[in-house]
Amino acid sequence: MGEFDLIRRFFQRPVHHAALGVGDDCALLAPQPGMQLAISSDMLVEGRHFFADVDPAALGHKALAVNLSDLAACGARPLAFTLALALPRVDEAWVGGFAQGLLALADAHGCELIGGDTTQGPLNICITVFGEVPAGQALLRSGARPGDDIYASGTLGDARLALEAMLGHVALPLEALQAARRRLERPTPRVALGLALRGIASSALDVSDGLTGDLGHILRASGVGATLDAQATSQLIAARALFTSPDSSLPPDLLHQCTLAGGDDYELAFTAPASRREAVQEAARHAGVPVTRIGTVEGTPGLRVMDGNGQPLAARYASFDHFGSI
Ligand code: ADP
Ligand code: MG
């Protein structure tokens, strides 16, 4: 199967919202008046972002999910995406599985595949997403103010826990491993929450590299500091609930490592004024995802991570290098 047959068979589909999709030299988008385009790219490289033997449908899902997560962080509604794909060989079953996982998530979000590029090479997937947001309403990293609450959506740390288990660093009960692996391989982009937080959150981003490091981006962009409650964040790991025997639990060190510095969570971390607590919870209910208050923005620069006793937590959980310049 040649390059063009492959594109036609797996990636060429009718478009409904875009003005022109796959098949010409450019795709065409027709933004609505008063809207801004939100654009983001994310690349997934074999060996770096996923294992070679990962289920292709899960990989297709994740490749788009991490991009939709960026739109969610900005409060943008997904419109369309392009797919640049390097494949070592044409394995029709593999590409079919990949396309199925990719396009199922695309359809769930009304996000159309409008173009891309296909080449032979080491497996590499680069997606660019296009979303829309009313002019001036995008959620940015720079709006956090002293006194604001800090929140995280959903769960934190399960993806990292799965990775630790797959690398043989920790043994998990089967059910916990499966749940954690699902979070690693099939993250849920919080698109509805991002939309619901427009006009409520003062700043937002998606947690891709680990909570404390990513939160550092908000603090730096906003020129503020924060205190984070590690007791609260340690509750957000979902897999722990699946430990059934009383003497099997996660070591606290691993728990903090996963929830504070884990990465691959694709949850939203955001800030909002304390006066908007009810509005935040209403947005969360509307979006169908829980949000948890995990800290407070402060004027004093730097990130202070506190344990349940109000004592500072060891620096290794906190990616403190990220904050050297605050
Ligand atoms: P060009 O030679 O003009 O760069 P290509 O031959 O690379 O165009 O691609 C032909 C058409 O197929 C274009 O519309 C392009 O956007 C689309 N396309 C190529 N690869 C993909 C892909 N992986 N997914 C979706 N569309 C693709
Ligand atoms: Mg061209």
- 118 C-alpha to center of ligand 1: Å? 7
Question: Measuring CA to CA, which residue among 253, 250, 205 is closest to residue 230?
Answer: 253
- Residue 325: what pLDDT? 40
What amino acid is encoded at 258 in this protein? C
pLDDT at 320: 39
Largest CA distance in the chain: 63
| Residue 216 CA, distance from chain mean position | 16
pLDDT (0 to 100) of residue 252: 86
Distance between CA atoms of residues 221 and 304, nearest Å: 17
**Residue 26 CA to ligand 2 centre (angstroms):** 7
Q: CB under 8 Å, gap of 24 or more: what pairs does 184-187 form? A: 184/158, 184/159, 184/264, 185/54, 185/55, 185/58, 185/59, 185/61, 185/62, 186/58, 186/61, 186/62, 186/65, 187/62, 187/65, 187/66, 187/69, 187/159, 187/264, 187/265, 187/266
- Nearest Cα residue to atom 13 of ligand 1: 23
Averages of pLDDT over each 10 residues, the chain, 326 residues: 90 94 95 96 92 93 98 98 96 96 98 97 97 98 98 97 93 92 96 98 97 96 97 91 72 91 95 98 98 98 91 69 40
- Cβ(293)–Cβ(267) below 8 Å: no
Looking at the CA of 27, name the nearest ligand.
1
Determine the Cα–Cα distance for residues 76 and 311; give it in Å rounded to an integer.
38
Q: CA-to-CA distance for 39 and 222, rounded, in angstroms?
A: 22
39 Cα to the center of ligand 2, angstroms: 21
Q: Which residues, judged by CB distance below 6 Å to any ligand atom, belong to the binding site of ligand 1? A: 7, 11, 22-25, 83, 85, 113, 115-118
- State the DSSP string of 72-119: HHHTPEEEEEEEEEEESS--HHHHHHHHHHHHHHHHHTT-EEEEEEEE
Alpha carbon nearest to ligand 1 atom 27, residue: 116
Question: Of the residues 9, 102, 103, 117, which should be mutated to test ligand 1's pocket, given the most ligand atoms within 8 Å of the CB?
Answer: 117
In the beta sheet, which residues pair with residue 20?
A: 28
Q: Which amino acid is present at 320? A: F
Q: For ligand 1, atom 7, which residue shows the shortest CA distance?
A: 117
* Residue 242, pLDDT score: 78
Please spell the DSSP secondary structure of 222-256, one letter per residue.
HT-EEEEEHHHHHTT-SGGGG--STT----HHHHH
Position 314 scores a pLDDT of 72
The pLDDT of residue 247 is: 60
Q: pLDDT at position 324, please?
A: 45
